[in-house]
Amino acid sequence: MNKVFFLNHAAIDHVHFSKNSSDFVVNEIPLYEFSGKGEHLVLHVRKKDLTTWEMLHIFSEQSGAKMREFGYAGLKDKEGMTTQYISVHKKYAKFFENFSHPNIKILSAALHNNKIKTGHLKGNRFFIRLKKTLPVDAVKLSSACKKIALQGYPNYFGYQRFGKSGDNFELGKEILEGKKERNPKLKNFLISAYQSGLFNRWLAKRVAISKYFQDFNQSELQNILKWDKESIKEVKEEPQFFKLFKGDICHHYPHGKAFLCNDLGAETARFYAKEISAAGFLAGSRALRSEDLAAEIESEIFNEAEVFLDKMNGSHRFAWGFAEDFEYIYKEENAWFEMNFTLIKGSYATVVLEEILHRSLNE
């Protein structure tokens, strides 16, 4: 799934990135404060070199609690150091008081009224350290970080979604075509990879069109896009990089309902103020669809999926994200470039890093 980057600098090839526990840290931000009372024990845990499932399996084996009794807001990477919140019935509290494991540390515990469920998080705070960074590259990295902090980033699905061989998209399509049989859990995962791949293709096209509006005048745009003059003029006047089109699906940011963009001027102002964002289609049934010019562009990507829509649950994903509290520093004595930033749930730090480095990390 080839991405189109929105930043224009050349690839920064010489810096080194590794998802180890020193150079890649993820801290989950809970959706709400825990009440301090109730039937559920909430554990704030730190793990390294383990997936969330592997950690829960260790908890299950040693405590006697079944895997289904644990609650979590999201699955965290195996590589690196990650913290997250796990819930389980308070009857297991005594076990966790004495829990010890070389790759897992329980940071704190609290009681709460309900089990943590998938999606019960605001987002994640990331720390990334790049090594072997020369001063000339540190200047490029600083400029890229500044632009993303100001303008945002295209919210692609990360390479992790598509498997080590990158073939999860095709496997998902084969399932929908009836060519492959899989167990239900794997089937749903592969179908979601197909939806993710279509979204990435659509987003790459929208980023490419937005770059046209950045690089060409109205006359040139009319020759390239074959749109009417008024539509080109209206979009050209938008101040932000990622252009909204009439009929786009928009979404209140970072929470709220999806709606159609009918008043382009008003919604552009709200998008520029980071109050809303454009949203892309995750192919499936019962999801609001775009209209007008936005629908014409969308159909070029999603036409192939129309025959499968009743086999998938439709939804939307933010096309454009905004990194919050973006901090960065160059430590020349160590040749380290370090970044801290916060992303909403479902966004990938590796996607932001790929935009900054202007190259794929899955090579």
- Mind telling me the catalytic residues? 77
How many angstroms separate the CA atoms of 47 and 105, rounded? 6
Structure tokens at 10: 């050349």
Residues 175 and 139 in one domain: yes
SS3 91: helix
Looking at 123, 140, 174, which one is the last position of a domain?
123
pLDDT along the chain (363 residues), means of 10: 89 94 96 94 96 96 94 92 97 93 96 94 97 97 97 95 89 91 84 97 98 96 94 96 97 92 96 97 95 96 96 96 97 98 96 96 79
Q: Are 291 and 278 in contact (CB under 8 A)?
A: no
Q: Which residue has the tokens 């992303």?
A: 343
Residues 217 and 117 in one domain: no
At residue 180, the pLDDT reads 77
How many angstroms separate the CA atoms of 203 and 207, rounded? 6
SS3 144: helix
The CATH number given to whatever domain includes residue 83 is 3.30.2350.20
Residues 117 and 157 in one domain: no
Residues 233 and 202 in one domain: yes
Q: Are 155 and 347 in contact (CB under 8 A)?
A: yes
Looking at 78, 102, 123, which one is the last position of a domain?
123
CA nearest neighbour of 55 among 43, 47, 65 = 47
Phi, psi of 347 (to 5 degrees): -90, 150
Q: Which amino acid is at 248?
A: D
Residues 60 and 179 in one domain: no
Residues 84 and 155 in one domain: no
Q: Which amino acid is at 108?
A: S
How many angstroms separate the CA atoms of 17 and 329, rounded? 16
Phi, psi of 88 (to 5 degrees): -160, 160
Q: Which residue has the tokens 């399932």?
A: 175
Q: For residue 99, what are the CA distances in angstroms to 46, 235, 283? A: 13, 58, 44
Residues 169 and 260 in one domain: yes
Residues 167 and 98 in one domain: no
How many angstroms separate the CA atoms of 312 and 336, rounded? 44
At residue 186, the pLDDT reads 87
Give the number of other Cβ atoms within 10 Å of residue 99's Cβ.
16
Residues 149 and 271 in one domain: yes
How many angstroms separate the CA atoms of 274 and 128, rounded? 25
How many angstroms separate the CA atoms of 195 and 283, rounded? 6
At residue 115, the pLDDT reads 96
Structure tokens at 140: 């490029």
| Span between the terminal Cα atoms of the chain, in Å | 13
Looking at 123, 145, 179, which one is the last position of a domain?
123
At residue 164, the pLDDT reads 80
Residues 147 and 253 in one domain: yes
Structure tokens at 247: 């009929």
Residues 279 and 216 in one domain: yes
The parent domain of residue 220 ranges over: 1-17+131-363
Phi, psi of 309 (to 5 degrees): -55, -35
At residue 255, the pLDDT reads 87
Give the total number of structural domains in the chain.
2
Beta carbons within 8 Å of 106's beta carbon, 6+ residues apart: 43, 44, 45, 96, 99
At residue 1, the pLDDT reads 60
- β-bridge mates for residue 110, sequence order: 42
How many angstroms separate the CA atoms of 295 and 247, rounded? 7
pLDDT tens across 148-197, in order?
999 999 999 999 899 888 899 999 999 999 987 778 778 999 999 999 99
Residues 236 and 359 in one domain: yes
